[in-house]
Amino acid sequence: MKRFEDGQMERVTAAEPLPGRALEQAETQAAILQLIECLPPNQQEVVRLKFQNGFSYKEISRITALSVSNVGFLIHTAVARLRTEFAAQRP
């Protein structure tokens, strides 16, 4: 049996999150996905393009034929709505 050296304790801990945490995360993500599904279709579209496919505003504007400011407004509204709905969901 060896004593821990200085600093070894930190290195011994596992890097993965606790099992409970992973489950929580999955639930949160599922909840968020549900909320995204309930967005109006045009907002949902733009949210997916931005956050799932990683396109910029300009690219989204080109893809959806909306103006850049329209895209910005839709994303802003969607993000704000998702935030409030998510907060409202959690106890």
Virtual torsion, Cα 74, 38, 41, 72, nearest 10 deg = 10
Q: Which stretch binds another protein (CB under 8 A): 3-11, 13-21, 23-31?
A: 23-31
Of the pair 4, 38, the CB lying nearest another protein is at: 38
Q: Which stretch binds another protein (CB under 8 A): 1-9, 15-23, 80-88?
A: 80-88
The CB-side HSE value for 63 (13 A sphere, CA atoms) comes to: 16
Residue appearing with tokens 């997916």: 48
Which residue in the set 7, 13, 52, 88 belongs to the binding site for another protein (CB under 8 A)?
Answer: 52
28: contact with another protein by CB under 8 A: yes
Virtual torsion, Cα 68, 74, 76, 78, nearest 10 deg = -150
80: contact with another protein by CB under 8 A: yes
